[in-house]
Amino acid sequence: MRSPVRRPRLATRPALATRMALVTTAVALLAVVVAGALTVGLLRDTAVAASQRTLGREAALIAQLSERPAATAAQRRTVAKLLVSQRITIVRLDAEGNIDRAGTRPVRAAAGFAPAALDPSEVATLLAGGSVDRTRRLGGVRAIVAGRPLDAGGAIALLQPVSQARELSTPVRNRVAVGLLVGLAAAALAGTLLARWLARPLRGAARAAHRLAAGRRDVRLDPTGPAELAELAEAMNALAAALQGSEAGNREFLLSVSHELRTPLTAVRGFAEALADGVTPSAEVARTGRIILDEAERLDRLVSDLLDLARLGADDFRVEPAPVDLRALVRAAGEVWGARCRAEGVRFGLDLPAGPVMVVTDGVRVRQIIDGLAENALRVVPAGAPIVFALAVTPPWVVLAVRDGGPGLTEADHAVAFDRSVLYERYRGIRRVGTGVGLALVAGLAARLGGVAAAGDAPEGGAAFAVRLPRPDAPGAGPTTDAQPAASGPVVG
């Protein structure tokens, strides 16, 4: 029974949709603040410039009105009242530059400026027939000064606080502020909706992952939405399919291993019970003991292969590279396997280069590869047929092969020869087979050494299992010799 999967507590963490909504809202708020500040500043400057132009036109108009004899006192009072309502101070200068008290209306209290606020440079400009249009400080506040000369002599000057001009832009600023706030609200709403829309597939993927962790393997996601989310859905689907296939393969492998364990265990139990019950004749005791020993060794080999295969993917699987003479290593292995082959009536041979072949690799693991391939070959080769250990240099590789004169493999077998238990399932009951993991272990060891394993046909008529290993220069090993195979060919004994 599958134990329930405990999910980590994530309630205290903010959801992705919430974070995205907050980020989009913060970005929109920042944009509104920046746009508002720029807009307000621009409106103020525009309002001041517009007021300055307007004040200049009004100064010119009053100058013309002052020189028109037809203008009545009532008209002048009306204009003066209109200017007072705009907080504008009227200053009239005579031809000498003195303030004309009669021409200066008593409206200065409304504007807050004294008529004598004009500086000498402005007075000089006006008396010389020039115009004055500027903004400067008067009495501690910023003000607009607009002056125009009179044809009869003297001048008219108007003074208005900048704050009065800025008040004219207040309605526009208010409308802009309302528009910015509406835009901020719309951006926050759009960000929230977008965040929820983007987070929905992620929540679906999380639910699918939890179902996978709980043991479901039929979980599939619809790869829709943006490219990244669609890629995530496809990756989850591929993961589910891979888990489904891996577990199916593991189940089949466990079934085959169980069968392999049961066969020798049945034999061991049967013969052991016969010995314990005393029903085995004394002449058969030695033979019975050898059978039990052979089956125990088969069990030990199966367990060792399984452990080595499991350790291949673990972090603690150690590979210790060092300079190794592969020719000497293969020859030493040949002495051991030559004796075993002769005991089985099988011819043994070596096909080696004439000189040493130095590589940087793990000699212990290479010997394990040779033993695995030799064990596989000796199992199926009939008496009188050959087994050959071959070594060849094909830069940048060194090819180590075990060839045999056994029944061989088909073209379809070559592609799956090193897949776990494939050949075992195909040939079980047809020819002698091993544990189903030996060749898979060889392929795993070759991969950990930086090489690759392959299967093919042998010139001896059977199968050839080869492992290609990289051949970098061995540090401290001296010059390497790319020697050619001996001209006499393989030595077969």
pLDDT in tens, 317-348: 677 899 999 999 999 999 989 888 998 999 99
Is residue 8 assigned to a domain?
A: no
Whether residue 330 is found in the same domain as residue 270: no
Question: What's the pLDDT at 388?
Answer: 94
Whether residue 345 is found in the same domain as residue 469: yes
pTM above 0.75, yes or no: no
- Mean pLDDT computed over every residue of the chain: 77
Whether residue 334 is found in the same domain as residue 354: yes
Which of 124, 156, 172 is where one domain is finished?
172
Whether residue 338 is found in the same domain as residue 484: yes
Which of 172, 198, 217 is where one domain is finished?
172
Spell out the residues 6+ positions from residue 423 whose beta carbon is closer than 8 angstroms to its own.
Answer: 409, 413, 416, 417, 433, 436, 439
Count Cβ atoms within 10 A of the Cβ of residue 190 and give its class: 0-12 exposed, 13-18 middle, 19 or more buried: middle
Whether residue 285 is found in the same domain as residue 353: no
Whether residue 286 is found in the same domain as residue 159: no
Is residue 226 assigned to a domain?
A: no
Whether residue 342 is found in the same domain as residue 429: yes
Quick check: 280 and 412 in contact, CB under 8 A?
Answer: no
Is residue 353 assigned to a domain?
A: yes
CATH of the domain at 359: 3.30.565.10
Whether residue 358 is found in the same domain as residue 473: yes
CA 182 to chain centre: 37
User: What is the token pair recorded at 385?
Assistant: 């047929």
Is residue 423 assigned to a domain?
A: yes
Whether residue 384 is found in the same domain as residue 408: yes
What's the CA gap between 213 and 240, in Å, rounded?
10
CATH of the domain at 139: 3.30.450
What's the CA gap between 95 and 127, in Å, rounded?
7
Measure Cα distances from 389 to 127, 322, 490 in Å. Answer: 119, 22, 9
Other beta carbons less than 10 A from residue 77's beta carbon: 11
What's the CA gap between 258 and 299, in Å, rounded?
11
Is residue 247 assigned to a domain?
A: no
Is residue 183 assigned to a domain?
A: no
Q: What is the per-residue DSSP string for 64-133?
A: HHHT-TT--HHHHHHHHHHHHHTT-EEEEE-TTS-B-TTTS-S-HHHHT--GGGS-HHHHHHHHTT--EE
What's the CA gap between 448 and 332, in Å, rounded?
23
Quick check: 381 and 387 in contact, CB under 8 A?
Answer: yes
Measure Cα distances from 243 to 70, 212, 221, 290, 387 in Å. Answer: 104, 9, 15, 43, 40
Question: What's the pLDDT at 451?
Answer: 92
Is residue 94 assigned to a domain?
A: yes
CA dihedral 44→45→47→50, nearest 10 degrees, is: 180
Is residue 446 assigned to a domain?
A: yes
Q: What's the one-letter identity of residue 435? A: T
* Helices marked H in 317-437: 326-344, 363-380, 411-416, 422-427
Question: What's the pLDDT at 409?
Answer: 86
Phi, psi values for residue 399, rounded to 5° = -105, 120
Extract the residue ranges of the chain whose pLDDT is less than 50. Answer: 1-5, 102-103, 105-112, 474-493
Whether residue 350 is found in the same domain as residue 471: yes
What pLDDT digit, counting tens, does each position of 347-379 carry? 999 999 999 999 999 998 898 899 888 888 888
Whether residue 282 is found in the same domain as residue 329: no
Could you give the number of structural domains in the chain?
3
Whether residue 423 is found in the same domain as residue 397: yes
Question: What's the pLDDT at 486?
Answer: 33
Structural domain boundaries, residue 339: 322-492
Which of 172, 202, 225 is where one domain is finished?
172
